[in-house]
Structure 1
Amino acid sequence: MNQFYDEQEAVDSLNNMFDLMSIERIVNVRHRDELRSKINQVVVKLHNMHNNILDLKVFSNSSNAQFLSSGVTLHDYQTLIDGLTQLFFISNKEQQLQLLTITRAEWGRKKIEYFFNCTEHQAKEAILLRHLYGVLARPMYFSGNKPLSKEIIDQVLELYQDDRISQQSSNKKDKSKVSGEDKIFRFMVPQSSKESKDYLCCF
């Protein structure tokens, strides 16, 4: 439930929390860097309590010290995370898969899907890629050359379906099923009188 405080109520509540955590109370809220540092200490201590209750050992003392002395605020961390998710959104498929490998080894498919808003297939592939080749590994395509993107395939089809490049057969029997759909043969247009319509394409 959302709860709003005026400035003095917020200061009193924070100082009560600082007392519980054995952290020096704040006197002057204008010292914002000091205030942020104390709040960060509270968050770290709460995080450690949570880990102790659940018997988790994922946040070492050295990590705590680095976090508290870095001067980086929780807001800074959130900004970095937002930037990371935006980078994922604008990246191509290969880069997205590479970025997904930075998640913690403990993260499962569902958590990766939720955090990055990616597909189930991407999450599965990222987990496998990280397991085999490590963090930020580039996807390897062992079944042959790197697959063409849909955009490139569409551009090629558009080019060869141009009437200046190929012409549809006038014989209605010149057809074949492609993905369950009847496609009429198209013959490449001769570029000179010496060439004949021996080049067949079907899209």
Structure 2
Amino acid sequence: RTMGSMRRSVTRAIEIIKETANEIDAASESTKSKNVSLSVSETDILLDGMKLLFKSSDYDEQTRLLTLSPPYWGRPQIQKFFSCNEWQARRAIELRSSFGILAKITNFSGNPPIDPTLLDEIEVFFQDDAISRQTSNKKEVIHINKQPTPIRYMTMTVGQAYTIFLKNLEARNSLCTVSKTVFYSCRPKWVKILTPHDVCACIFHENYEFLIKV
């Protein structure tokens, strides 16, 4: 009696599995008729091409391309897949939810937005040893977020540093640009323009310097 009930249960389970399999096959057939089926290699080629297009686009176009990501993706997933920054991912989500996919970015302020990564690059550029030097006085520090930071003094004018920065952008074929005013405003607080007279310039020491140069 027990074996008979088990056989009936197994038979019923097999029938349910077959019915479910038929329903899945029917659903897959309807899906294939609507969408083009792609192989794994073809999908990888499309994704690689999309990533290449993203890297070769400017900042605003990159944000537009990010709106093509799945709607259930959050900011971390978009950042990880496209290797973009946090601000681009967040702005793309807002743009897609407000205006849809591939919506154009409108700057109501009249000024184009500046890439946050470019601002970070300018800050690092000001701290380069070729642009500024660290003070030799250990007491000359400024506290940033309660952390002592040594003061640096520029070895050239802001205009000269700005020219070098633009040449660096042109050398790597960057589409980014920045005005001199914005470049100056991105100078860190601990990088000073006026250099104190802390080097001896008497005739004896200057003569040694001239001999070294010769």
Mark yes or no: TM-score above 0.5: no
Between Structure 1 and Structure 2, the one with more helix by share is: 2
1 or 2 for the larger relative contact order (CA 8 Å, sep ≥6)?
2
